[in-house]
Structure 1
Amino acid sequence: QSRRARWRGTHRLSALSPAEMSAPIPSTPSEPYPPISSRAWLVDSHAHIWRAWHGADKTLVDGTGQPVGAVQGFADALLTLLESVFDTNMRPAVQPHPRTGPMIVCTFDAPCSRTFRQSIYPDYKGHRPPAPLELTAQLPRCRALAEAAGLYAIDHPGYEADDVIGTLVAQLRGRTRAITIITGDKDLAQLLGPDDRWFNPMRQMVLAYGDVERHFGVKPQQIADWLALAGDTADNIPGVPGIGPRIAGNLLKKHGTLDGIYANLAAVYGMKFRGAPRVQKLLIEHEPAVRLSRQLTGIVCDLPLHTLPEPWLGIRPQLPELLRAAGVDEYRIARWQRLPCAPSRQDSAA
């Protein structure tokens, strides 16, 4: 399939709105109504915060002179998401149900925490400059904002937001009809199940399970092996020098998995692509690097998170004041206030 044809397919997918993407999947007699939520939305918060920071006016400060550009951008991203999930134009008076409302979780990288990936490979993401202090100072406010918006905010020491998302996907599988992962990170496509979606808000691109192979050239369950072979410059993952995404995809189409490739190295020699004998030699020479890379590209799905997030019930009373303190204009605050408010403790008890 040509690159242009793949792009046309992706462009059609990108025409989907977040509201269309969030449409609940109808129940069938063989699929009982789920005990938790019709859909879960798992947000890679740092992807939004970084995007907001790079696109923000660096001169934006609050009344005390603290930078707030990333906070404002993150607030806009959450507002857009919530307006799409909970259609304020169509159903402004409907209160989310505590059992069947949408579950929306903001995942974060643990602050000041060396990850297990850096422990096994110190150069993991080592080419990236440290985050500027003007940005890191805004991270606690971004998290407080998510919590005031009624969203469940979570991290885990020693692990990345990707691993928290992976664990939540594993915990929620079968307990919610479908999961949408909101991120710009292609690694997270490995978590998709048949009813799930991967949404890149930066490119307005939506991929369903079956679209992943058309876009990346491999199936979701092959993404980690594919990146281990081809490497990933975004995270400084070495892979095999001389094996790019296309050849890695061809190997996985033929042999299924990384282990399948190494179990059939003799067959690689005779594969019908240019340079197959050389690729076989590279695989043998760089097997330790491939195995290391595979430890880096796989997402952890069994963190001890202990508690399961609850469905979103609405924004908290303190949210407008937090938004004003961050310099958010009254028009956007009014949009926030059109969303349902979470019931008070007294209302819940009653």
Structure 2
Amino acid sequence: MTYLIDASIFIFRAWFSVPDSMTCPNDHPVNAVYGYAQFLSDFLESVQPDSVAAAFDESLEKSFRCEIYPAYKANRDPAPEELKRQFAQCRKVTRSLGISECSSSRFEADDLIGTLAGKAREAGRCVSILSRDKDLLQLLQAGDVMWDYVSGKQIAHDDVPELFGVRADQMVDYLALAGDSVDNIPGAPGVGAKTASALLQHFDSLDELYENLDSVENVNVRGAAKLGAKLKPYHDQVRMCRELTRIRFDAPLPDHDDVLARQVPNLSALNALYDDVGFGQSLRRQAQRIADSY
């Protein structure tokens, strides 16, 4: 099994859940670093993976998705400077614990995870994606799982239809039709989650749907008689939304032999960072145990 970590999810969770009264000797908040380091250390100690990598988001300013749709994620407030500082420190924690960390100015963490998943499958491995982001469900194949490590909730490939009414490989079209307010993706006006799943159960894909708009009246969904006519003017918009929701598999990865191979922790670098942020002995002792069991 290859484990792919959606690092930003866990950093934001720590930012909001650990009190910002936790500060370093220079009085900067280190709550997100502490929560993330705790999560990553617990994961490494309990799972002891040999194949693992972490993906981080950068600024969206140069993202290819913003070139397609400038309003993409424009509804989000920019990250505070104190959080940006901690993101950089979390990346150091990741490297020091022996895990490759990936990021790109043009591609998002989702695309990096998709590209890493492709490499894992080339090696004959299934993947476990550590996240709770439904966008990543489209990557799941038989034997794969999305795992929210902190809550313990897992969604397997075969669980997706029960939860969303569509197969994992249909999630791209599902999100394109229903839209996603979190990412400011408009979708097709008037089409919500239930309608999107009903359409894809009937037509299987977005392309098949738009090739058969005259048959939409046969779908078992409220307002089906007029739905085809309502969808027709938004063909280009929905196709554009699909380009936003589709995860790429060609993101640039770190240039070394095996980005997925876990390395021995660099305790010297890790302890120097923990000195800088003022952490005590608990995480240091845990890091030593992780190194001893490597």
Give the TM-score category using the shorter length. Answer: over 0.9
Is residue 2:190 matched to residue 1:242? yes
In structure 2, distance between residues paired with 1:203 and 1:291: 35
Contact 1:105 1:309 survives alignment (8 Å)? yes
In structure 2, distance between residues paired with 1:204 and 1:328: 26
Q: Equivalent residues in 2 for 1:25-40 (5 A)? A: 39-40=1-2
Q: 1:112 to 1:249 in 2, by over 3 A?
A: closer
In structure 1, distance between residues paired with 2:60 and 2:202: 42
Letter in 1 for 2:138: Q
Question: Equivalent pairs: percent with the same residue?
Answer: 36
Letter in 2 for 1:215: L
Is residue 2:18 matched to residue 1:70? no
Q: 1:243-295 CA distances to partner (integer Å, 9 max, x unpaired)?
A: 11111001111111100111111111222322102221221122122111111
Q: CA RMSD in A?
A: 1.8
Contact 1:313 1:341 survives alignment (8 Å)? no
List runs of 5+ in structure 1 lacking aligned partners: 1-38, 87-100, 344-350
Contact 1:85 1:102 survives alignment (8 Å)? no
Indicate the residue corresponding to 1:132 in structure 2: 80
Contact 2:175 2:187 survives alignment (8 Å)? yes
Is residue 2:288 matched to residue 1:340? no
Contact 1:212 1:218 survives alignment (8 Å)? yes
Indicate the residue corresponding to 1:108 in structure 2: 56
Alpha-carbon offset, residue 117 of structure 1: 0.7
Letter in 2 for 1:122: P
Indicate the residue corresponding to 1:321 in structure 2: 272
Letter in 2 for 1:53: W
Q: Equivalent residues in 2 for 1:1-350 (5 A)? A: 39-86=1-48, 102-111=50-59, 113-305=61-253, 307=256, 308-318=258-268, 319-341=270-292
2:267 partner SS = coil
List runs of 5+ in structure 2 lacking aligned partners: none
In structure 2, distance between residues paired with 1:58 and 1:104: 30
Letter in 2 for 1:154: C
In structure 1, distance between residues paired with 2:197 and 2:39: 34
In structure 1, distance between residues paired with 2:166 and 2:68: 26
Contact 1:314 1:342 survives alignment (8 Å)? no
Q: 1:184 to 1:131 in 2, by over 3 A?
A: same
Q: 1:15-42 CA distances to partner (integer Å, 9 max, x unpaired)?
A: xxxxxxxxxxxxxxxxxxxxxxxx2111
Q: 1:210-238 CA distances to partner (integer Å, 9 max, x unpaired)?
A: 01111121111000100000001110100
In structure 2, distance between residues paired with 1:225 and 1:217: 12
In structure 1, distance between residues paired with 2:124 and 2:99: 17
Alpha-carbon offset, residue 52 of structure 1: 0.8
The runs of at least 4 aligned residues of structure 1 exceeding 3 Å deviation read: none
Alpha-carbon offset, residue 339 of structure 1: 1.0
In structure 2, distance between residues paired with 1:123 and 1:111: 14
In structure 2, distance between residues paired with 1:84 and 1:234: 32
Contact 2:112 2:249 survives alignment (8 Å)? yes
Alpha-carbon offset, residue 310 of structure 1: 4.0
Letter in 1 for 2:281: E
In structure 1, distance between residues paired with 2:226 and 2:17: 44
Task: Please give the TM-score of this superposition, normalised by the length of structure 1.
Answer: 0.79
2:127 partner SS = strand
Aligned residue pairs, count: 291
1:338 partner SS = helix
In structure 2, distance between residues paired with 1:183 and 1:82: 16
Q: 1:221 to 1:310 in 2, by over 3 A?
A: closer
Contact 2:217 2:227 survives alignment (8 Å)? yes
Alpha-carbon offset, residue 342 of structure 1: 9.2
In structure 2, distance between residues paired with 1:112 and 1:274: 38
Letter in 1 for 2:264: G
